[in-house]
Structure 1
């Protein structure tokens, strides 16, 4: 709850005067300048507070979504939505959201595709979900994103060779090494693994035996995966538990605090640059894990469960995009050349 107003009781909630201008302070974002004219400032405030009013712009609808819907998403998704909304506001925010049409969305998509075609797809996906929520509340009847095609995207085909992995690993500090190995041994997303610690170690029954597993909840899919703790993963977990102080997260700063995804990714990127290995992202470790398991004859169904894919077909495409096409030559015996 915000502080109780001490003056200017004529101003609407969350509106303040500063240096002659009126400012609206959202709960989740930077202050918004409403201008110097109080009646106009109140109109803008009403639009921001209630996107369903007749004058509601797309910007106000986005603000409503970012304050009521987006915060319930996974932290990284929420952070991405905040960034995506900035571009949507710049391109379409001035249009009353009830007047937004598919041709507006298509024009925006094409303009953004000049510099960031993939990001344009993510922004369109956000816009579509915003209108889905608006439809549920009876504010609009149709979604202007319906029927507007996405920009084409090329699949990620990068496979990290063992030598490339070790080049980066051997340069990295312990926390980055630990995360690299956790990703490779579990095939999980780095964001999910950054939340893991001793509390994720569980004992479960497997037949007539009790085994230890690393229980991981995937933010993206909502699925819970139990990864058996054995082999190299067991060695890694034991290393995490062997210190004089056992911290609440396996991957942590020197002060014992949990790393943010952006923070440790920046560190990883620096080590990649120093190693001179080209085009190596942290998510490529997950792809390498799945591909290496497939090459070692691990059943696709097991890899699918680890990755959280809804179908084996998705898993197969995910893996084979990273594998070079290797086929035998034509060995059919031809008739003799007479």
Structure 2
């Protein structure tokens, strides 16, 4: 395991397993207790508009739709993939965030409607309730979306030599960073300003000193 983040996740998972076993008399203790986690550096990757477009133009229609929903709604991949037709409201798209439990209706915009229409237009042999679906009509899997993402990257990096890697999850952060409304926390669906700050990654502009203004 080379990734510190991955190692921390495995430690947490194993700790849960041993805790479950200890409570039921299946093991004598939890060997994960006392094992410190690696210090993780908060992710600060901001996806520039040109970078977004570089992947977008090389993406499949369903990936383009998913990218736009993630960006425009500040939504997680898991919450996008579980969207159903019943989540359409007259005034917007209903999204319940799996991490925070926050329920939101993301107001319709022309581009958001276009993204949803593009997702629904993906061919399906059977009627489906899922917005993002495969050809059999079942919910699109995270693995299938990951494959689409990898293919788009393979094409994009041949065209853009200076394109630095970013993840699909970074698109939620791009949405939060790009949102310029009065209440960023309401848009992001986070419960604390600290959580919002971790997703607000755009470098802030500030005035510089102008000595000439003194004379």
| Superposition TM-score, scaled by structure 1 size | 0.53
Aligned with residue 271 of structure 1, among 138, 149, 152: 152
TM-superposed deviation, 1:134: 3.5
Question: Does 1:303 pair with 2:184?
Answer: no
What's the counterpart of residue 117 of structure 1? Answer: 4
Map 1:56-205 → 2, pairs under 5 A: 112=1, 115-137=2-24, 143-202=30-89
Larger radius of gyration: 1
The 1:215–1:118 alpha-carbon spacing in structure 2 relative to 1, beyond 3 Å, is same
How far apart are the structure 1 equivalents of 2:202 and 2:5?
A: 23
How far apart are the structure 2 equivalents of 1:298 and 1:247?
A: 37
Q: Report if the CA contact (8 A) 2:85-2:129 is conserved.
A: yes
Q: Report if the CA contact (8 A) 1:184-1:285 is conserved.
A: yes
TM-superposed deviation, 1:291: 0.5
The 1:243–1:260 alpha-carbon spacing in structure 2 relative to 1, beyond 3 Å, is closer
TM-superposed deviation, 1:327: 4.1
Aligned alpha-carbon RMSD (Å): 3.0
How far apart are the structure 2 equivalents of 1:144 and 1:310?
A: 33
Question: What SS does the aligned partner of 1:188 have?
Answer: coil
Q: Report if the CA contact (8 A) 1:272-1:278 is conserved.
A: no
The 1:135–1:226 alpha-carbon spacing in structure 2 relative to 1, beyond 3 Å, is farther
What's the counterpart of residue 313 of structure 1? Answer: 194
The 1:279–1:137 alpha-carbon spacing in structure 2 relative to 1, beyond 3 Å, is same
Question: Does 1:218 pair with 2:71?
Answer: no
What's the counterpart of residue 109 of structure 2? Answer: 230
How far apart are the structure 2 equivalents of 1:124 and 1:222?
A: 25
The 1:135–1:244 alpha-carbon spacing in structure 2 relative to 1, beyond 3 Å, is closer
How far apart are the structure 2 equivalents of 1:213 and 1:297?
A: 17
TM-superposed deviation, 1:253: 2.9
Unaligned runs of 5+ in 2: 158-162
What's the counterpart of residue 281 of structure 1? Answer: 167
The 1:271–1:330 alpha-carbon spacing in structure 2 relative to 1, beyond 3 Å, is same
TM-superposed deviation, 1:194: 1.3
Q: Which has the higher strand share?
A: 1
